[in-house]
Amino acid sequence: MLEITRRDTEESQSGAARVFTFFRDRLLSGDLKAGDRLLAERELALALSVSRPVLREALRSLAMLGLLDIQHGRGAFVRAADASVLGQALTLCLAPEPNILDDVLQARIAIECQAIRLACERASERDLQAIAATLDTLVGSLDDPERGGESDYAFHLAIVRASGSASLMKIYEAISPLLMRSHVERRRDTFREPAITSGLVDAHRQVFLALAKRDPDAAETSLRDHFTIGDELRRRNLISAYQPKRKNS
């Protein structure tokens, strides 16, 4: 009699995997919403007719995937879907690839170029204002490398957000950890000079203006130019760093 339980869940898998898919499907279907609290482990184990260790394996797996928030002494809560896990998974997936820190820039360009095209169509006034605000912050933090980098990121993120595409947004968030690492690594090769930073502001301003005019082609072009210039700048700095010093000590 009891063995029939296997059939009624229609899962050939057993134990933890069964419980895992059980919850995953509930999450996908929306039966479980963010913030919901699960039953206590002991009750849950009883309800699903598995032992507590088995249940815990499944719960822990869900927690590692970021779907659950398990709090000692309080209980387990359903967590809002979070891109941070996506980022981790992507990092793990891409880890064995060589030069991944350079390569991930291609994904960034891909996302942003499409995002800005969409933003030209869809961006609301508030979206544009938000982007403009990050631009102001950028101008105001030119001499601080730390804050400068942050506001730079904020500018680009605001564009992606203005696209109104959840997919682009999530993927952009997913690659952002790698982007950060890439940025940090690159900073070692990059020197911030006044000439460079002013050019940076101009480039951003140009991108914004094209977006505000809602001209997709111009916006994408200026964005691509921005990336290309950054790329060349980096290359030039790299070369000069390896060249024998001539003037300065």
Partner DNA sequence: TGGCCTACAGTGGTCAGACCACGGATTGAC
Partner DNA sequence: GTCAATCCGTGGTCTGACCACTGTAGGCCA
Residue 71, φ and ψ in degrees, nearest 5: -120, 125
What does the DSSP 8-state code read for residue 80?
-
- Contact between 16 and DNA by CB under 7 A: the answer reads yes
- Contact between 20 and its own copies by CB under 8 A: the answer reads yes
Residue labelled with tokens 């980096």: 234
* Among the listed residues 65, 70, 94, 229, the single contact to DNA using CB under 7 A: 70
Rounded-to-integer distance, Cα 9 and Cα 2, Å:
12
Name the CA radius of gyration of the chain, rounded: 24
Cα 154 from chain centroid?
Answer: 12
Q: Which is nearer to DNA, 8 or 146 (CB)?
A: 8
Q: Three-class SS of residue 192? A: coil
Q: Are 140 and 113 spatial neighbours (Cβ–Cβ below 8 Å)?
A: no
* Among the listed residues 38, 46, 100, 212, the single contact to its own copies using CB under 8 A: 100
Q: Which is nearer to its own copies, 2 or 92 (CB)?
A: 92
Out of DNA, its own copies, none, what residue 51 binds, judged by CB under 5 to 8 A for its kind, is DNA
- Which candidate, 86, 102, 22, places its Cα nearest to that of 59? 22
Out of DNA, its own copies, none, what residue 115 binds, judged by CB under 5 to 8 A for its kind, is its own copies
Q: Which is nearer to DNA, 3 or 125 (CB)?
A: 3
List of residues 6+ apart from 136 with CB closer than 8 A: none
Out of its own copies, DNA, none, what residue 50 binds, judged by CB under 5 to 8 A for its kind, is DNA
Sign of CA dihedral 19, 25, 28, 29: negative
* Interaction pattern, residues 176-205, with DNA; x per rule: CB under 7 A: ------------------------------
Q: Are 173 and 87 spatial neighbours (Cβ–Cβ below 8 Å)?
A: yes
* Among the listed residues 56, 117, 161, 226, the single contact to DNA using CB under 7 A: 56
The secondary element (H helix, E strand) that includes residue 75 is: strand 75-78
- Contact between 19 and its own copies by CB under 8 A: the answer reads no
- Residues lying near its own copies in the complex (CB under 8 A) are found at 16, 20, 24, 27-28, 30, 34, 53, 56-58, 60-61, 63-65, 67, 81-83, 85-86, 89-97, 100, 103-104, 106-107, 109-111, 113-115, 118, 163, 165-168, 170-171, 174-175
